[in-house]
Amino acid sequence: MLRSNTTADLIADQLNAEIMRGDIRPGAPLRQEDLATRFGVSRIPVREALRRLERDGLVAVFPNRGAFVIEVTAQDIREITHMRILVECDLIERAASLHDQSDMEALGEALELAERTAATPEWIRTDRAFHMRLYEPAAAPRQIRLAMSLRTEVERCNALYDQLPEARNEWLTDHRQMFDAYARRDAGDAAELLRRHIQRAGDFLVRCLS
């Protein structure tokens, strides 16, 4: 029995992890009664957990039909990729001109952690952390939240990423090159490297879905 004051969050976190790993497939139903039995709770915290997953863009809830894991199509990936380029390239271009020494130290640590965990289940979390560090000096919290929300939508496809793990070597090279351009305060080069990085990832996912 989960503690009542954290039940909904714990359930949401567990389901989030299972969706990200591909254990719960796109389009799969999430029935409240089954989840309540599984976690040994009433339907109330389950309902709250599903609402949180819906806000995070992982689940769609339909009246009289229930909740389902959202399916991602190739067209969805193309649209998200386009939006990510607009949002994230603007962020890095501004941040590359505004960062200070402490920002560079934190970014260097995030880069090293992303490289160490590239072949582990932690790679999505550390990749996200690296990009967060890239954008933070832009001091644009709403835009950064939007960027991370768009990333969440494609992070659900991590099972597809795992089909071609050697592609991570290219992505890690991209990270190192972005770091170097950023350190030089070459905002234009950093933005172009990021654009190619995002586009390559989007193209890869489209090929997998096709």
| Residue 65's CATH number | 1.10.10.10
Distance of CA 123 to the CA centre of its chain: 11
37 vs 156: CA distance, rounded Å: 25
- Nearest to 137, CA basis, from 175, 97, 176: 97
Contact 93, 187 (CB under 8 A): yes
Tell me the CB-side half-sphere exposure of residue 184, using CA atoms within 13 A.
11
Residue 10: pLDDT band with limits 50, 70, 90: very high
Per-residue pLDDT at 126 exceeds 60: yes
* pLDDT tens for each residue of 31-53: 999 999 999 999 999 999 999 99
Contacts of 203 (CB under 8 A, 6+ apart): 81
Q: Are residues 60 and 93 in the same domain?
A: no
Domain final residue pick, 23, 40, 69: 69
Q: Are residues 112 and 177 in the same domain?
A: yes
Give, as one character, the DSSP assignment of residue 137. Answer: G
Q: Are residues 89 and 167 in the same domain?
A: yes
Per-residue pLDDT at 171 exceeds 80: yes
Give the mean model confidence (pLDDT) for residues 200-204: 89
Q: Are residues 119 and 44 in the same domain?
A: no
Per-residue pLDDT at 182 exceeds 80: yes
Taking 3-state DSSP, the helix, strand and coil percentages for the chain, each rounded to the nearest 5, stand at 70, 5, 25
Q: Are residues 84 and 52 in the same domain?
A: no
Domain presence at residue 104 = yes
Q: Are residues 167 and 95 in the same domain?
A: yes
> What pLDDT does 155 receive?
78
Domain presence at residue 89 = yes
Domain containing 196 — which CATH number? Answer: 1.20.120.530
Give the pTM. 0.77
Look at the chain and count its residues: 210
Structural domain range at position 64: 7-69
DSSP string, 71-92: P--HHHHHHHHHHHHHHHHHHH
Q: Are residues 137 and 88 in the same domain?
A: yes
Q: Are residues 170 and 116 in the same domain?
A: yes
Q: How many domains does the chain have?
A: 2
> What pLDDT does 57 receive?
78
Of the ranges 6-10, 70-74, 105-109, 150-154, the best mean pLDDT one: 105-109
- Nearest to 30, CA basis, from 67, 82, 1, 81: 67
> What pLDDT does 73 receive?
87
Per-residue pLDDT at 178 exceeds 60: yes
Higher pLDDT, 30 or 122: 30
Residue 163: pLDDT band with limits 50, 70, 90: low
Per-residue pLDDT at 206 exceeds 60: yes
Residue 159: pLDDT band with limits 50, 70, 90: low
Query: Mean pLDDT of all residues in the chain?
Result: 89
